[in-house]
Structure formats: structure tokens, C-alpha cells
Chains A and B, each alone.
Chain A
Amino acid sequence: MKSEKGTLPETPSGMSIPDSTLVAVCDRRSFLRTAALPCIATCASAFVGGPLAAPLLAAPAAENDAQFVREAQFYEKLAYKKIKCKLCPRECVIDDRERGYCGARENRGGTYYTLVHSRVVTAHIDPIEKKPFFHVLPGTLAFSIATAGCNVNCKMCQNWEISQVRPEQVRATYAPPAKVAELARENRCPAIAYTYSEPVIFYEYVVDTAQAAHEVGVRSVVVTGGYVSEEPLKKLCKAVDAIKVDLKAYSEKFYKEVVNGELKHVLNTLVTIRKQGMWNEIVYLVVPTLNDSDQEFQGLARWIKSDLGPDVPLHFSRFHPEYLLKNLPPTPLETLERAKAIADAEGLHYVYIGNVPGHPAESTYCPKCRKVVVERLGYTVGAVHLKHGKCEYCHTPIPGLWS
């Protein structure tokens, strides 16, 4: 099923899980339009390969929000029943009965709870290239899930209808970790992707599901804005198999004005991921007039090369008007090609252009002999010229998780 938003990265699209398999549990709740779940009402013919997903657990009684609530990790109790959240750099100090910035975690009587464990608002089977992961299990499918909530508020958010809402404002399904793992396995998805909104804010669910997935031979990949504190990040790196970070810009000004965050924390995240030996790819969504200067592209490329290494894949992705930036045009192709040229010139080995189906910069080239080692057209993988993770032609190692 095609997304209404075309080929944007990481909006719910691709194969959807039939409605019969996901049972809404919040029927009596008033909710926003179910941006994601209507596209779940497709028939079996929408699937490409693989059987229908097995039914999930039957819905419990309506309004049973308690099933989604678990004590949160990474927080500190303060006086007067306040708590300080330690999951992300915001370190929200939260009064009793209140929530932090993300809206997905709540202080109840001085104990902090996640409200979104197993609370899936969208579930799809997507090509893993859509995340995008270009150096992870090419040509395979990722069982992709999200809960509501996010710890930033990017004005160009493509998924704001689930990321910028509170959990009770959008219909959800109870999908415990073991069930998600089983669904992934049954649908021949070698990986689960935690994506669309912000997996950091459904942290406990990610870690629990990743563990359940590993038990049945399924990997886990995370698509995140990278706004996470070091301690939880290190633990996350032990639980999952790959992390893709959306680096929104290489400027503090953009982070402050457009993202409502700080760049330095995301750069710290990238360094930590590298030090943990975790596979990482970076997406930079190029927004016309806001983060598209040569200076930024060059600064970014130099920083990546010096602090992360030239082998980290960098995807320059085309922006489409959405949410609070509907006044801006889509990214011109020339801008994306200019960004790529600058990054290539700085010595990065794997620089891609995203959201431009058919562009040659979607394919992976050997940095030594420049032959195509993974051919791509949109999210479709064509010929793969790798042997044991090396270029088939000149035997240069091509880093990634290839099998």
C-alpha cells in the first residue's frame, strides 16, 4: 500500500498488518484520526510474500490503559514526590501527576512510569532500505513498530500525528514483546525496526522486545533522533543490532529553533555509538533555506570523518513540506547532489541521496574500485556484488551487517 506521502522516509507505509490481527483497545476513548491504523485495513493480497500475520492477543476490556504502564528506567526521585527523568538530555523535573516533555512518561505519587510499553500505534512491514539502512541485511524486510510520543518537536516532522501526541490521544494495540518477535519471525522479517516516532521514549519496550526477538533469531534496529543520555544509550547498544540516527542539522541554531533541542547531545550520541562498536548510519534531512548551506555540509562531513570515521554511511534525504513547515518547498535535487559532492570530497566513503527514486546515489559503490556492490532502485535491491562482506571485484571490505 502506498503511503499518501509518497516515498518519504519512515512514514508508515509498505505492507500493513491486517486489521483483524490488531485489536484496538481504546475504543471508548476519543482520539485523533487514526493516521496509521486505517492503512492497516488492507486485504491479504497487499502482502508481498509471507503468510498473513498471526492474530495478536485479544483485546482486554476497553480503557485498560494499565496494561501499558510499567515503572520507567533511568530516573531519580526528588523531594516532594518530584522526579527527575534521566533518559534523555532534557532531564525533565516532573511534579506528581505530571508528564515530561515527551508526554509518554508520567509521575504517579513519586514513581515514574512509562505509559507506552507494548502500546503500538502503527505496525508495518517495510523494506529495511526504507529506514534507511543500506548496510544492514539488504533486500530484507523489517517489522516496523512505534508508540506515540517524542522528546523533540521538529517542525518538519513527517510523523507528527503519532510523535507529537500523548498516548491516550491515538488508538493503540496491545502488542507485548514476545508477540512482536513472533510476528516478525512468522512474516520472515529478519529484523524489527523501532521507528516512525522516537524509540528513546519507548525505551523499555524496545529493550524488552529486542531481547524477545533475539530469542527467536530476529535482530533489532533502531531509528532515532539520537536525543538520549549516555547511560541508557550504552545499555541500548547492548540490546540492539544497529542504530540509524537522524541528524537534523549541523548547527545549534537549527536545533534550538526548529528541533527544540541541542546539537551537542546528538553528536555525543554518535560518538558513544561508535565507541560501543554498534553499526550506525546517519540521515540528514535537507530542509531548503534552513540547513542546506555548504558550510554546514562541509562541517558535518569533516566532523563525521574525524570523530566517527569515513565508513559511516551518510544519507542526504529530500524534505517534503509537512507539519509546521508546509511553507517550504521540497529539497531541490541540485542541493542534495551538492551536499553529496561536498561530503565525497571530504573523504566519506558512503554518501547517499534519499527520497529520489532512481538516483544513482542510492546504490552502494566500492570506495576503492568504484564499482556498484549493492544496486538499488528506490527501496528495491537489485544485484549484490559482495562476497563475505567484501567487494566482489577488488575484495575491499565493505562495512555493514550483510547477513
Chain B
Amino acid sequence: MQAAFDRDNPLEAWRQVVRPGEVVGLKVNCLAGKGISTNVPLVEAVCERLQQAGIKDIVIWDRLNSDLESARFRVNERGGPIRCFGNDTLGYEQELSTYGSVGSLLARTLTQVCDAVISLPVLKDHGIAGVTMALKNVFGAIHNPNKYHLDVGNPYIADVNMLAPIRSKFRLHICDATTAQYEGGPSFMPQWTWPYNGLLVARDPVALDYTGWQIIERKRAEKGMKPLKEMKREPAYIATAADAHHRIGINDPKKIEVMEV
């Protein structure tokens, strides 16, 4: 965080993302269960720093309570400075949010509880969408993600990221790449994981996804596997997210600064 925000003090870095008094959501990714989900110790470390930065109300959330529990999070729907629950606790808004090709009901956890969200995806490939990291982690905020996997998720994933509450509240992306997966995702396939042992941190989800995608492609090449384009699942939605209509972030490697810390 210090490196990413060019601060000498970690709390000063965190205070660039959140403000005291805000309710901060941590959108984890627990779809695949305990094998390749956002790690509990990482989330605990983030919570610790947020609390030190003056945040008194943190909500760890994902799609379903059962998903959270499968990844070893403890569901706690009420009380305490840290709550943890799925969208099935509060449900969804009643009015559609629309942009481009998508129309969805947004999770009330996002729209009514959180002032800010830190996204905590994992680094893995996806059998339909190519890869699944920061941009696709927002699918946990809508009621109908299963409708948006056609055409390798393009332009749907980019369009979902344009929905106003998502665009405005997702402030930071920390991709848990402790364990990464290059094939067989989104399910946990241990034979295709490797201990990358890193984190990808960015404010720009497009740049993060592009960088993570290249990491996966390099691993696939190392293992003698075809690139995602040849498998007909190149994640073109990343370029769409960067295009003139969306401008969610940058996917040009010449313009992405990767700092290795």
C-alpha cells in the first residue's frame, strides 16, 4: 500500500482509500470454496489496517452465506465492528440498474450499507470468461450473473462495472494471488494451481486484470498449454472496459506501471 500510494506510512496510504466513519465493504470471492478463495488471513490483515485508519464498521461480503462459510469465513450478520454475510441476508434492490447490455438488481449490501468497497478477488482463469479477477468480482453484487457469461462475458462484464454504485464505490482492488490457478477455473483444480505468493494491488481494475491475465498466460505457456485466445476464451471484456465508451481503466501495457515490491 505504501508503494502503491507513495506514502511513508501505511495508515496514510489506507487513508487515501477510506475515510474515518465510512462503512467499508470487503467484497471477497469464495465461489470455489476453501481451495482458491480469498484467504481469511489477508482479509484479517486488511481489517486491522482499516480499523487503525479509523474505520469502525467493516462488512465482509459475497454472494451467499454458504459460499463464505465454505471459504472458512464466519457469518456474522449483526453486531461488532466486523460483520460478514452474503447477499441472501439483505437481498437486492427492487429497481433495475441498467447500462448498455445489462440490467440487474444490485445487492443492498452495496447500495444501502457500504460507503466504500475494497475488492478482494483471486487470480485464476475462468472456463467461460477467460480470467476472473477484479472486473468479474463485481458479479457478486448483482442478482443475475448467470445471464452475463455469453460471448466470453463481453461486453457484459465491462457493462456491469459501469453501474453507478459499482463505479463509484469500488475504490481499491487487492487480488489475492497467494495461490493462483491457470486452468480449470472457476472451480478449484489443485493440479492447475501454483503458489504465486503475491498480491496485485491497484485502483484500476482494468490494469490489474490485464496484468493478472498476462501472469496466467505466462504460466500456461510454461506448462505447455495453449493461450486463452486459442481456447476461444480470450478475455476481450478487459479491452472493452478500457474503450472509449467505458474508460474504466487502462489496458495498454505501455501505460501500466507495474511496481514489484
Binding site for B on A (CB under 8 A): 29-33, 80-82, 93, 95-103, 153, 155, 164-166, 168-169, 260, 323-324
Is the beta-carbon distance between A30 and B186 smaller than 8 angstroms?
A: no
B88 touches A324 (CB 8 A): no
Q: With A80-B187, A96-B187, A153-B147 given, is the CB distance from A29 to B88 under 8 Å?
A: yes
A103: B residues at CB distance < 8 A: 144, 146-147
* Contact A102–B146 (Cβ < 8 Å): yes
Known A101-B149, A165-B144; judge A32-B105 contact (CB<8 A). yes
Query: Shortest Cβ distance from A63 into chain B, in angstroms?
Result: 10
Verify B90–A30 contact, CB threshold 8 A.
yes
Given A32-B143, A102-B146, 20 more A-B residue pairs with CB atoms under 8 Å apart are A30-B91, A32-B94, A80-B189, A81-B187, A82-B187, A95-B186, A96-B187, A97-B32, A98-B31, A98-B186, A98-B187, A100-B146, A101-B149, A103-B146, A103-B147, A164-B147, A165-B143, A260-B147, A324-B96, A324-B103
Residues of chain B from 212 to 258 with CB closer than 8 A to chain A in the complex: none
Main secondary structure, interface of B, reads loop
Which residues from chain B contact A155 at a C-beta distance below 8 Å? 103
B88 nearest CB neighbor, chain A only: A30
B187 in contact with A30 (CB, 8 Å): no
User: Residue-by-residue, is B94-108 near A (CB-CB < 8 Å gives 1, otherwise 0)?
Assistant: 101010000101000
Alpha-carbon distance between A93 and B185 when the two chains are bound, in angstroms: 12
**A260 lies within 8 A of B186 (CB):** no
Identify the B interface with A (CB < 8 A).
31-33, 87-92, 94, 96, 98, 103, 105, 127-128, 143-144, 146-147, 149-150, 184-187, 189
**CB-defined contacts of B144 to chain A, threshold 8 Å:** 103, 164-166
Q: Quick check: A33 and B94 within 8 Å, CB to CB?
A: yes
Interface centre among A30, A81, A155, A168 (most CB of B within 10 A): A30
Chain A contacts for B89, CB-based, 8 A: 30
Task: Decide: A32 and B91 in contact? CB cutoff 8 A.
Answer: yes
Contact present for A168 and B88 (CB under 8 Å): yes
Chain B residues closer than 8 Å to A164, beta-carbon distance: 144, 147
Enumerate 9 A-B pairs (CB-CB under 8 Å) in ascending A order. Answer: A30-B91, A97-B187, A98-B31, A101-B149, A103-B146, A165-B143, A166-B144, A169-B143, A323-B103
> Which chain A residues lie closer than 8 Å to B87 at the CB level?
30
Which 10 residue pairs spanning A and B have beta carbons closest together?
A: A30-B91, A95-B187, A103-B146, A324-B103, A96-B187, A153-B147, A33-B94, A99-B146, A30-B88, A101-B146
Most buried by A among B33, B90, B144: B144
Q: How far is the CB of B59 from chain A (nearest CB, A)?
A: 15
Central interface residue in B103, B105, B146, by most chain A CB within 10 Å: B146
Total cross-chain contacts (CB, 8 A): 64
Which residues of chain A come closer than 8 Å to B146, judged between CB atoms? 99-103, 166
> Shortest distance in angstroms between B102's beta carbon and chain A's nearest beta carbon?
9
Q: Is the interface of A mostly helix, strand, loop or mixed?
A: loop
Interfacial chain B residues near A168, Cβ < 8 Å: 88
For A324, what are the chain B residues with a Cβ–Cβ distance below 8 Å?
Answer: 96, 98, 103
**Residue in chain A with minimal CB distance to B146:** A103
Q: Which of B88, B90, B147 is close to A101, meaning CB atoms less than 8 Å apart?
A: B147
Chain A contacts of B149 at CB under 8 A?
Answer: 101
Chain B contacts of A81 at CB under 8 A? Answer: 187
| B31 contact set on A, CB distance < 8 A | 97-98
Contact B147 A97 (CB under 8 A): no
Q: Which B residues are in CB contact (< 8 Å) with A97?
A: 31-33, 187
Complex CA–CA separation, A101 to B146 (angstroms): 5
| Chain B proximity of A97: nearest CB distance (Å) | 7
Contacts of A165 in B (CB 8 A): 143-144
Chain A residues whose C-beta falls within 8 Å of the C-beta of B91 in the assembled complex: 30-32, 169
Query: CA A31 – CA B105 in complex, angstroms?
Result: 12
Would you give the shortest CB distance from B36 to chain A, in whole angstroms?
Answer: 12
The interface residues of chain A lying within 8 Å CB-to-CB of B94 are 32-33
**Which residue of chain A is the closest to B185 with respect to CB atoms?**
A95
- A102 to B33, alpha carbons, bound, how many Å? 23
For residue B230, give the distance in angstroms from its CB to the closest CB of chain A: 18
Chain A residues whose CB sits within 8 angstroms of the CB of B128 once the complex forms: 93
Determine whether the beta carbon of B184 is less than 8 Å from that of A80.
Answer: yes
B127 cross-chain contacts in A, Cβ below 8 A: 82, 93, 95
Nearest A residue to B98 by beta-carbon distance?
A324
Contacts of B187 in A (CB 8 A): 80-82, 95-98
CB distance from B26 to the nearest CB of A (A): 20
A99 to B31: give the CA distance in the assembly, Å: 12
Chain B residues with CB under 8 Å of A153's CB are 147
Contacts of B150 in A (CB 8 A): 101, 260
